[in-house]
Structure 1
Amino acid sequence: MSEKENFLTIKENGSVELVIKKSRFIATIARTTSTDEANKFIQKISKQYRDATHNTFAYTIGLNDDQVKESDNGEPSGTAGVPELKALQLMNLKNVTVVVTRYFGGIKLGAGGLIRAYSNSVTNAVEKIGVIKRVLQQELIFSVPYNRFDEIDHYLKTNKIFIANAEYGVDVKIHIFLDDDNQENTKNDLTNLLSGQVTFTKGEKRYNEIPVKSNNYHEQ
């Protein structure tokens, strides 16, 4: 997986149920970073709902949909797994596996109805569980005198930069995380605010999670 790319995924693992014409559709969704993780999750959920009529699934692994798989698990070909996979891809989600369990309620939905039911089950689950953007950021560490902390804190909050950690010693040592394309501007601003009396140290690089409020996931 390239560390240079940011991506969308689900906020957390979860399960959401829809009832459509008396059939129960339970979409259980999880973050998975390998096909091995995906397959273990599918086996676990299929075992949990072993008495269900169908346990269909879809997954996409990798930032470029490098490994994808879907299964109708006995539903008419193309009516379950493919719509589930397309739903994940339309929302631009990465490293996600979904199992949609169906308990048949006695009313046949037809091919079109099944496609809509399985697709909507995934979309509905994702919207209720939530989406985050995983953003690769660089840690930046610098120290400020106590009497300048409030001013620097105000600048950071105004620019939606959050203090990851503050260590209180002779001065206040501040740890922040920045996108690659935001580092130089922030360093310049802080240098100007502190009249050049500041030294920056780079820390670790890590993925941080930012909530995505919009449903227009393809625009993120």
Structure 2
Amino acid sequence: MRKAYKILYREGTGELIEKKSRFIASFRPVKTEEEAQAFIEEMRKKYWDASHNCYAWVLGENGEGKRCSDDGEPSQTAGKPMLDVLEGEGIVNICVVVTRYFGGTLLGTGGLVRAYSGAVKEGLKACTVLTLVPAKKLLIDTDYNGSGKIQYLLSRQNIAILNSDYTERVIFTALVPDEEMLKLQADITEATGGKAKLEVSGCVYYSMLEKEVLLFPEL
């Protein structure tokens, strides 16, 4: 059964200062380990003079691909706390690099954990994260008498209409979340007396961004 999940859609950066040490969190949407590694190398070159460039990534619809690195910091004080934040937020297809410029004061293990995880949380505020909802494209073929009833049903259930084709008959292409499909099909059949023809034309994931419908293929 498909389920909704969250992805990093637009990258961002955030910064945190802790006892004069500077922590810069940089994010990038990634789909493969190769893309994640390329981003990490890019950040290492950009911040070549930094004390550390620690990273974490989560890949796959279920977050099955994951990795993190302390990059020279004490074990479990950087990469793992960063990864914990990403997993706690439930975001996948994401890579974060936290760059540290040492400020001259040791933070201790607890301080490092708070600083690295805090930098990730701060950086996420500047990113765009989307929730992708599993849905199907439903073709609804109806006569003109039934079109008004169908539009009312779709509007009442907040179902997006991707396309409307008015010829001898009316054909709507609706974007229906998986969990609402059976109910909507039953409602349309009842409202039109079984005259509307229904056909599922494909499976996608979708999200809303400022009232815009964004479609995504299955992973």
TM-score by length of structure 1 reads 0.83
Counterpart for residue 121 of structure 2: 123
CA-atom RMSD in angstroms: 2.3
Counterpart for residue 43 of structure 1: 41
**Deviation at 1:150?**
4.6
Q: Deviations over 1:93-141 (max 9, x none)?
A: 2222111112223333222111001111112222442432222221101
Distance 1:151 1:106 in 2: 70
**Deviation at 1:64?**
3.9
Contact 2:58 / 2:92 at 8 angstroms: preserved in 1?
yes
1:66-215 equivalences in 2 (<5 Å): 66-146=64-144, 148-210=146-208
C-alpha change, 1:18 and 1:167, in structure 2 (3 Å) is: farther
Distance 2:144 2:102 in 1: 65
Aligned partner of residue 58 in structure 2, secondary structure? strand
Distance 2:69 2:165 in 1: 51
Counterpart for residue 60 of structure 1: 58
| Corresponding letter in the other structure for 2:133 | V
Shifted more, 164-173 versus 94-103: the winner is 164-173
Shifted more, 92-101 versus 3-12: the winner is 3-12
Distance 2:99 2:50 in 1: 7
Distance 2:156 2:130 in 1: 22
C-alpha change, 1:72 and 1:117, in structure 2 (3 Å) is: same
Residue 23 (str. 1) matches residue 21 (str. 2) = yes
Counterpart for residue 215 of structure 1: none
Aligned partner of residue 11 in structure 1, secondary structure? strand
Distance 2:190 2:7 in 1: 37
**Deviation at 1:47?**
1.8
Distance 1:118 1:163 in 2: 44
**Deviation at 1:155?**
2.2
State the percentage of identical aligned residues. Answer: 34
Counterpart for residue 213 of structure 2: none
C-alpha change, 1:126 and 1:172, in structure 2 (3 Å) is: farther
Aligned partner of residue 82 in structure 2, secondary structure? helix
Contact 1:135 / 1:210 at 8 angstroms: preserved in 2?
no
**Deviation at 1:168?**
3.2
C-alpha change, 1:169 and 1:28, in structure 2 (3 Å) is: farther
Contact 1:23 / 1:105 at 8 angstroms: preserved in 2?
yes
Count of residues in Structure 1 that have an aligned counterpart in Structure 2: 209
C-alpha change, 1:145 and 1:103, in structure 2 (3 Å) is: farther
Aligned partner of residue 122 in structure 1, secondary structure? helix
Higher strand share: 2
| Corresponding letter in the other structure for 1:118 | Y
